[in-house]
Structure 1
């Protein structure tokens, strides 16, 4: 059963005349008559009563008319949603993100995206970088937001924004009275930090930066999560060097100070190669617009430095 046959039948039912119905659907009268007859043959019962003056529907035809209208309406809706999906306007997007992005950048991206594409369902999943790469390979998430490097060669990435490291100190620490610090100012301080095996790239980058400043940080306490490390800072155990967006945690008793020449950490969007579509393009476009103000420097992926995971 072809949709054009349904359209011809509906036009005939509403016009009650073969000639007017044919004009309405832009076919010759003979073609419309043949189309309705083929439809009757396929259904197996007469749908119209033909006379020299007008056309009337049979009881079966009246019932068929209701279903034909509903079928065409559904087909039109399906076509429109298909076209909108091709433009990235409908569908579902599952976004993975590393801890911390909920305090910097991600909320604004999601808010603007949902305002612009209200018919796209957005699901957020907080995952480590390794978990995101695994979820992308198994198609459990559509796109991941994480920190360089991306090690899986089957994934493509696009740079989103860059964030510097900052110094997190106890609010009562003498250095907290300064508006800005140098890394050399911290050479005699105790540090709290991640275990190297958990975030080796981040650990090595910070250690190299400190070594270039002439000292090796004295790590007196390790913890796995940023909130725990900031709690240790608040308790006066040591200082920590988080990415600047962690200031959004608002931890009591912790003062954040910018550091001169601090390393920049690069956040990228990642997706499976060969699976970039209009919906992902729409998300990346919104991200680029939201993260566009000065201070959010974006560099080509090939120039981005390795950063923490």
Structure 2
């Protein structure tokens, strides 16, 4: 097996001292392989940005270690940064400078002789680089950050909430860019609380909450869970007692009834449901796989639903 691009062992970080000490990350063991888009998923405050800052040696851990391309992130940070494209969650650039001059400056720092790829990225993202940063909207500032992170075609991209502020069309363009990076054999480490984004482009996802790693799974496996949503539409009024019978079946939950329609969550076989609706004329029966958000809440329980709605 190829050497991991990112590997952490027991990575731990706390802020503050004494009674005010807060554990931001605890015993993180994570392995990311070459050529994958890895989603780092969790609500704000889960520890995602702390992890990224530790990987980039912006802050130091209290315990544990991390390597990128087999090199210690602390002792080899200068060399590693040359191979990384980084987009922070909050991008602070020179407000009075034009974007094209900022791109030129970054190109010179990186020893790039040709910035045509940066121009191509700007065109695809519909970013006018003749404007000053202060005149940009939040979304356009994000686009500039994406250009700066991708322009030197780094071996590893570390992106913190990359699509924040982008409209849906630009999110699709971003997704295509990430697929192209993967096709080149390069690696993406992407933190997000936008569940649909992670579901659309990632190969694997880690679920983080309160500084602790809850799960690491492939998107395919994570979304292949043992429940689905079933919606049944009847031609006539729902037969008397059928709703109660469906609600009481083993494996059904979250039952709701609206006019001639019934919706429920089903775990297990369909046969009991089919038998229960045998007396009604069904015009439509729809089965939906759960969204990644619903799977996420299944990991954390109902207590997380309100938190996710507030933090997303």
TM over 0.5: no
Structure with the greater alpha carbon radius of gyration: 1
TM-score for both structures, normalised by structure 2: 0.24
Relative contact order (C-alpha < 8 Å, sep 6+): which is higher? 1
Larger helix proportion, structure 1 or 2? Answer: 1
TM-score for both structures, normalised by structure 1: 0.24
